[in-house]
A and B are shown apart, each in its own frame.
Chain A
């Protein structure tokens, strides 16, 4: 931990970064905090708890306010994947963001069923292998189609339209949200119109979702949202060979078709 604090201290002192977004112990509760050169003593209270905040979402707010500055940010594997996608979507300039990487513990990786529980560069913690577990998808896929529809409609019918899934999502950075477009989804209803509310969100997660699972953690109705988006993520990998959050230079086939185009994979014709 001292090594981590010193690293952040050096970055701040040298002026390499203007601020560092990390977590601080506030009366026993770890909360997000922007460490600065002016208050280096606050680094004593910096913590790395065994739970997560949507760090990149908070980062975006800071970047919007201080667009010229270089900001450091504590990232886990999932946050780092978000940074990759945010750079592709031109929400951040990678040269103005300095990730400080935290490798998750084996327990956290297992609890999150995380396939890559470590960032590109690790400054704290030991790298552990990812968990490749698609039992949640297999369980849904084992149901006959009509039962599967009933299952999802039952899950969606619990929704209270709190927008928690969207609000906590690192990849929900749009200025205007389709979910609030009343020509597509009627306002004032709870549950919101189903399944369209959830399907719109699922489609928008294709080529975007970095599989952090915060949506499902945040959902007060316990809708297995992550399974839904994992399926979309898996489809993107199967059909387009595209996995989000891995490589900054790789283009999202759904976002950047452009003039070059993509060859439609044969697998789509078969299904």
Chain B
């Protein structure tokens, strides 16, 4: 997030898109509700009437994968009406003319045709977002999990820069990161092209710094992303895989393809707190410790350091992940794994990572610190880009709308989008073992529009077979007006009827390599009583 979570409470306008905030980030939703009670306008652009959508001042259901079009459409209207922040554009950004040209063709009429958002509503959203004192954009996987994921994010950045709704409190472009520590794991460089703190692996100077610190040669090459790894197994290029705290058999797209790859890979290690579907395929399972069984730090979605303290000793043979990794490192004969505790790991990190440089255990014990925190006197950065962007001037990027990779056709006439429920987390590893949560929901279902349900001759509670080019699952039906005609939704938490049997792993964002979980083509068939 460019801005910190508490700042949301003081926003005048919050534009939420592709985030089921009340389900996936309920405590952030609670800040948004507070802001609304203080008079903020809440706008939700989402294909489903989620809980947060039902509480919003404006909710529109865009067509799946049409995000670049409506964002360009908002910019088109803002420029036509002169609502842009020209001094911000002139002083703080570059590339404005190109974007101005690019959005010229996105007239409200054209945008309505692509996105399904009525042109009057689009104008209303543009006016509220541009003219409010502090407008904040909140987004999540509904924006990123498309072949145009990077384009979608850049478009939101264009919109924020156009209106100067960034670099001030309660504004910004705010992706809500998952779990308690997805931000932390990317900070730690659990991404293939960076060293900790987003330092490029291809930069020789940086590589030398880490070679010196870690006492050995390091690869100058960018590695593989998760989805690329699975594909590389299939191509025979990847022989061993070590998975920590992930359950790709349920969470990755096209599960049938993932399952085959995990069976084909020569050596599979899985480290987790429970025996996941993926761990069952492993040659070696290493028991990790849960949050309550270890000391350390997390980095929250707003770049805030959070210290955690061990409440109980790890159960059974479990150990904290860092300890297991050090043991493996030592067993492989590497030096530099002699950390007595997580504190020394953090110290090394702060030493080598400019954005963490000013943080230490004593400070984060007492102070609220958001990175970047460059030295001991730096109070940290609740919001970014106050006086300038990381690269100097903010770069506008002209972006054209591209349709999703797989569109409905005669054989697969429906569009599927996937997402979450409030009662389960991700692949259910942690939540489907909870009696109170499984009491709420313990079965996948498909949301269908009443007209589609009627045409298929199914009612809520009836069973259907849902198939895509990749696979097929059986689920119950939930008829709802909360979704557009022709669109279906399945929560992906349930391994036995995994929505990811259906999703498309072949279509990736060309830059981020994120798969298009949020759109694919499906067919739906009624299962009659006898068969069920």
Are chains A and B native binding partners rather than an unrelated pairing? yes
A binding-site residues for B, Cβ under 8 Å: 26-29, 157-158, 160-163, 180, 187-188, 190-191, 220-222
Return the 7 tightest CB-CB contacts between A and B, nearest first.
A188-B441, A190-B422, A220-B30, A187-B440, A188-B440, A160-B26, A158-B33
Q: Does B472 contact A (CB under 8 A)?
A: no
Q: Does B205 contact A (CB under 8 A)?
A: no
Q: A27-B309, A27-B365 are in contact. Are A162 and B55 (CB under 8 A)?
A: no
Residues of chain A lying within 8 A (CB to CB) of residue B366: 28
Q: A190-B51, A190-B423 are in contact. Are A222 and B309 (CB under 8 A)?
A: no
Q: Does B386 contact A (CB under 8 A)?
A: no
- Is B23 a contact partner of A190 (Cβ separation < 8 A)? yes
Q: Does B530 contact A (CB under 8 A)?
A: no
Q: A26-B309, A188-B440 are in contact. Are A161 and B30 (CB under 8 A)?
A: no
- Is B439 a contact partner of A160 (Cβ separation < 8 A)? no
- Is A220 a contact partner of B422 (Cβ separation < 8 A)? no
Q: A28-B365, A187-B440 are in contact. Are A222 and B22 (CB under 8 A)?
A: no
Residues of chain A lying within 8 A (CB to CB) of residue B422: 160-161, 190
Closest to A31 in B: B311
Residues of chain A lying within 8 A (CB to CB) of residue B365: 27-28
Residues of chain A lying within 8 A (CB to CB) of residue B203: none
State which of A27, A29, A163, A222 has its C-beta within 8 Å of the C-beta of B33: A222
Q: A180-B439, A187-B439, A191-B51 are in contact. Are A162 and B34 (CB under 8 A)?
A: no
- Is B309 a contact partner of A190 (Cβ separation < 8 A)? no
State which of A161, A188, A191, A222 has its C-beta within 8 Å of the C-beta of B37: A222
A105 to chain B, nearest CB (A): 24
Closest to A182 in B: B439
Report how far A83 CA is from B163 CA in the complex, Å. Answer: 58
- Is B26 a contact partner of A220 (Cβ separation < 8 A)? yes
Report how far A17 CA is from B26 CA in the complex, Å. Answer: 42
Report how far A213 CA is from B87 CA in the complex, Å. Answer: 49
Q: A190-B22, A190-B23 are in contact. Are A221 and B30 (CB under 8 A)?
A: yes
Q: Does B512 contact A (CB under 8 A)?
A: no
Q: Does B498 contact A (CB under 8 A)?
A: no
| Chain A interface mostly | loop
Q: Does B54 contact A (CB under 8 A)?
A: yes
Q: Does B222 contact A (CB under 8 A)?
A: no
B133 to chain A, nearest CB (A): 23
B255 to chain A, nearest CB (A): 24
Known interface pairs A28-B365, A160-B26, A187-B440; 12 further A-B residue pairs with C-beta atoms within 8 A, sorted by A's residue number = A26-B309, A157-B54, A160-B29, A161-B422, A187-B441, A188-B440, A188-B441, A190-B422, A220-B27, A222-B30, A222-B33, A222-B34
Report how far A220 CA is from B29 CA in the complex, Å. Answer: 9
Residues of chain A lying within 8 A (CB to CB) of residue B29: 160
Report how far A27 CA is from B364 CA in the complex, Å. Answer: 12
B86 to chain A, nearest CB (A): 39
Report how far A29 CA is from B365 CA in the complex, Å. Answer: 10
What would be 10 A-B contacts, judged by CB atoms less than 8 Å apart? A28-B365, A157-B55, A160-B26, A162-B26, A188-B441, A190-B51, A190-B422, A221-B30, A221-B33, A222-B37
Residues of chain A lying within 8 A (CB to CB) of residue B54: 157
- Is A188 a contact partner of B423 (Cβ separation < 8 A)? yes
| Chain B interface mostly | helix
B310 to chain A, nearest CB (A): 10
- Is B441 a contact partner of A160 (Cβ separation < 8 A)? no
Within 8 A of A (CB), among B18-34: 22-23, 26-27, 29-30, 33-34
- Is A158 a contact partner of B55 (Cβ separation < 8 A)? yes
Residue among A27, A29, A220 with most chain B CB within 10 A: A220
Q: A187-B439, A220-B26 are in contact. Are A160 and B51 (CB under 8 A)?
A: yes
Residue among A27, A28, A160 with most chain B CB within 10 A: A160
Report how far A158 CA is from B55 CA in the complex, Å. Answer: 7
B56 to chain A, nearest CB (A): 12
Residues of chain B lying within 8 A (CB to CB) of residue A26: 309
Report how far A190 CA is from B424 CA in the complex, Å. Answer: 12
B296 to chain A, nearest CB (A): 13
Residues of chain A lying within 8 A (CB to CB) of residue B439: 180, 187
Residues of chain A lying within 8 A (CB to CB) of residue B30: 220-222
Residues of chain B lying within 8 A (CB to CB) of residue A27: 309, 365
Residue among A26, A157, A190 with most chain B CB within 10 A: A190
Report how far A163 CA is from B439 CA in the complex, Å. Answer: 13
Report how far A161 CA is from B423 CA in the complex, Å. Answer: 9
Report how far A9 CA is from B421 CA in the complex, Å. Answer: 50
Residues of chain B lying within 8 A (CB to CB) of residue A161: 422, 440
Binary contact readout B341-379 vs A (1 if CB under 8 angstroms, 0 otherwise): 000000000000000000000000110000000000000
Closest to B37 in A: A222
A223 to chain B, nearest CB (A): 10
Closest to A180 in B: B439
Report how far A86 CA is from B51 CA in the complex, Å. Answer: 37
Report how far A197 CA is from B143 CA in the complex, Å. Answer: 34
B407 to chain A, nearest CB (A): 32
Residues of chain A lying within 8 A (CB to CB) of residue B309: 26-27, 29
Closest to B478 in A: A188
B343 to chain A, nearest CB (A): 13
Residues of chain B lying within 8 A (CB to CB) of residue A158: 33, 55
B237 to chain A, nearest CB (A): 43
Closest to B22 in A: A160
Report how far A221 CA is from B27 CA in the complex, Å. Answer: 8
Report how far A161 CA is from B33 CA in the complex, Å. Answer: 15
Report how far A190 CA is from B33 CA in the complex, Å. Answer: 15
Closest to B29 in A: A160
A33 to chain B, nearest CB (A): 12
Binary contact readout B488-515 vs A (1 if CB under 8 angstroms, 0 otherwise): 0000000000000000000000000000
Report how far A28 CA is from B440 CA in the complex, Å. Answer: 37
Residues of chain B lying within 8 A (CB to CB) of residue A220: 26-27, 30
Closest to A158 in B: B33
A26 to chain B, nearest CB (A): 7
B434 to chain A, nearest CB (A): 12
B444 to chain A, nearest CB (A): 12
Report how far A163 CA is from B26 CA in the complex, Å. Answer: 13
Report how far A157 CA is from B440 CA in the complex, Å. Answer: 18
Report how far A29 CA is from B306 CA in the complex, Å. Answer: 14
Residues of chain B lying within 8 A (CB to CB) of residue A190: 22-23, 51, 422-423
Residues of chain A lying within 8 A (CB to CB) of residue B51: 160, 190-191
Report how far A163 CA is from B441 CA in the complex, Å. Answer: 15
Within 8 A of A (CB), among B387-445: 421-423, 436, 439-441
B415 to chain A, nearest CB (A): 24
Residues of chain A lying within 8 A (CB to CB) of residue B33: 158, 221-222
Residues of chain A lying within 8 A (CB to CB) of residue B37: 222
B46 to chain A, nearest CB (A): 16
A23 to chain B, nearest CB (A): 15
Report how far A191 CA is from B23 CA in the complex, Å. Answer: 10
Binary contact readout B28-59 vs A (1 if CB under 8 angstroms, 0 otherwise): 01100110010000000000000100110000
